[in-house]
Amino acid sequence: MSDRDKSDKLWGGRFSEATDEFVERFTASVQFDKRLYQYDIEGSIAHARMLNKVGVLSDDEVEQIESGLESIRKDIAAGNFDWSIKLEDVHMNIEAALTARIGEIGKKLHTGRSRNDQVATDIRLYVRDAIDSLCTLIDKLQSALIDLAEREADTILPGFTHLQTAQPVSFGHHMMAWNEMLTRDYDRLLDCRKRVNLSPLGAAALAGTTFPIDRNYSAELLGFDAPSNNSLDSVSDRDFAIELAAAASLIMTHLSRFSEELVVWASVQFDFIDLPDRFCTGSSIMPQKKNPDVPELIRGKTGRVTGHLMSLLTLMKSQPLAYNKDNQEDKEPLFDLLDTVEDCLQAYIGMVPAIRCKRENMLEATRRGYATATDLADYLVKKGLPFRDAHEVVGKAVSLAIELKQDLAELDLEQLQQFSELIADDVFEVLTLEGSLAARDHFGATAPTQVRSAIETARSKLAAR
């Protein structure tokens, strides 16, 4: 050895201890990917059975591997498993434990496979389950919303544009608008599921394997629709995770919009609803406060989920084919965003049935906002005035009403007639809030009859899922 090598070694010896420890921790993923253990074991069992089917493993070998894996599964579930950072990830921890338990045969499990196709398989299985539980949660939330919509189909709420009173709407109609967003979320998840449910197993490290594997068989054992087409793509593709993150971000965007409305409605200034005490908290200094913490926090957590979507997109943007260690970074954002969305949906499922509408306050607020001005304009149009002129006439009438601090319906006939002689006694029917609501009586509009039929359709959609 040259002096230089020696000094390298000396230096290396000292430094590498510390560095190794750091690198070990830095490159390990077991701290977070251990939650994939169920899927890892499922995937391994399917792989072993496939190897047995094609004659690479004997019946005895596959039996031992399976029972070893089952015993590991049991121990992990019971919390009796020592995860080791030295073994880097969930895959090598389980494989090492298998060999420790069943001996040399355990080492045969990894024949014709790589951690690259293994991890891709695990995540797909994980994501598939996550999609299914998100769908169940969305379904429950939709049922709760539809029930609330039915309870409040006749409740009048000021409909807003620009957060200014626009036209009266049914509270039930408003809830059904939320329901529409969730229907799209549900359908998006199902659509994403199709691209998730393909088996990368058999792609091995990147190019496939020299063993006579049966990819259809292992795919079938794992409930995948088919094996994925291209081995290079199979080990490197994380589009499905990004799609799910995008779908999850939209779910959160919707929950955040709902939350914003709940926060505003629960304020003393609006005072439209009461949120149950169990979903609110108090202030440590202001005794009168009842803060809508749960919707506020959901609104806040939206940024976190959308942030994870950005992380995943950025993670993938410069990766050459095929697998790169970068991919290990997909897990934490993915897990966290799924945990977050699940929690938020759960919170909504609890909260929605407990929302109490303060019907009188909503009605009063609708009255104050000249919400029937468009109805008056439509009335004039039906009597022959072009819409633009009708708009002008009603604008003047609203001006007078504001001056007198009265509602349009409180102006008398003479006062109204100074703006147009087309106005007659029958005008008061269109100026009532109930009349205004009931008059918007076509598919998709707010008349309570329409809201009830939308509810019926929505219910049968849920039942058909």
- Identify the residue whose tokens are 């977050």: 340
**Residues of 193-222 as b/e, b for ≥16 C-beta within 10 angstroms?**
beebbbbbbbbbebebbebebbbebbbbbb
Q: Is 170 assigned a catalytic role? A: no
The residue from 42, 61, 89, 375 that contacts ligand ARG (CB under 6 A) is: 89
CA angle 388/369/356 to nearest 5° reads 135
Return the number of the residue (283 or 319) whose C-beta is nearest ligand ARG. 319
Query: Which residue, 49 or 115, is less far from ligand ARG as judged by CB?
Result: 115
89 vs 152 by CB, closer to ligand ARG: 89
Identity of residue 36 = L
Q: How far is the CB of 115 from ligand ARG (least distance, A)?
A: 4
Annotation says 283 is catalytic:
yes
Among 108, 115, 188, 299, binds ligand ARG (CB under 6 A): 115
Site track for ligand ARG across 324-363, x = CB under 6 A: -x-xx-----------------------------------
Within residues 381-410, the interface with ligand ARG by CB under 6 A covers none
What is the nearest approach in angstroms of ligand ARG to the Cβ of residue 36? 9
* Closer to ligand ARG by Cβ: residue 27 or 418: 27
40 binds ligand ARG (CB under 6 A): no
State the Cα–Cα distance between residues 104 and 98, nearest whole angstrom. Answer: 9
Query: Token match 């390298």: residue?
Result: 8
Residues in the chain: 465
**What residues contact residue 210 under an 8 Å CB cut-off, 6+ apart?**
112
- Judged by CB under 6 A, the stretch of 111-119, 223-231, 279-287, 301-309 that binds ligand ARG is 111-119
Shortest CB 325 distance to ligand ARG, Å: 6
Cα distance from N-terminal residue to C-terminal residue, the chain? 73
Q: Cβ 196 to ligand ARG, closest distance in Å? A: 17
**116 scored as a contact of ligand ARG (CB under 6 A):** yes
Q: What angle do CA 399, 405, 409 make, to 5 degrees?
A: 75
Instruction: Classify burial at 248, counting beta carbons within 10 Å of its beta carbon; exposed 0-12, middle 13-18, buried 19 or more.
Output: buried
Q: What would the two tokens of residue 332 be? A: 């934490």
Q: Which is nearer to ligand ARG, 39 or 323 (CB)?
A: 323
Q: What is the distance between the alpha carbons of residues 134 and 385, in angstroms, rounded to a whole number? A: 52
Question: Which residues are catalytic, by number?
Answer: 162, 283
Q: Which spans of this chain sit near ligand ARG (rule: CB under 6 A)?
A: 29, 33, 89, 115-116, 119, 323, 325, 327-328
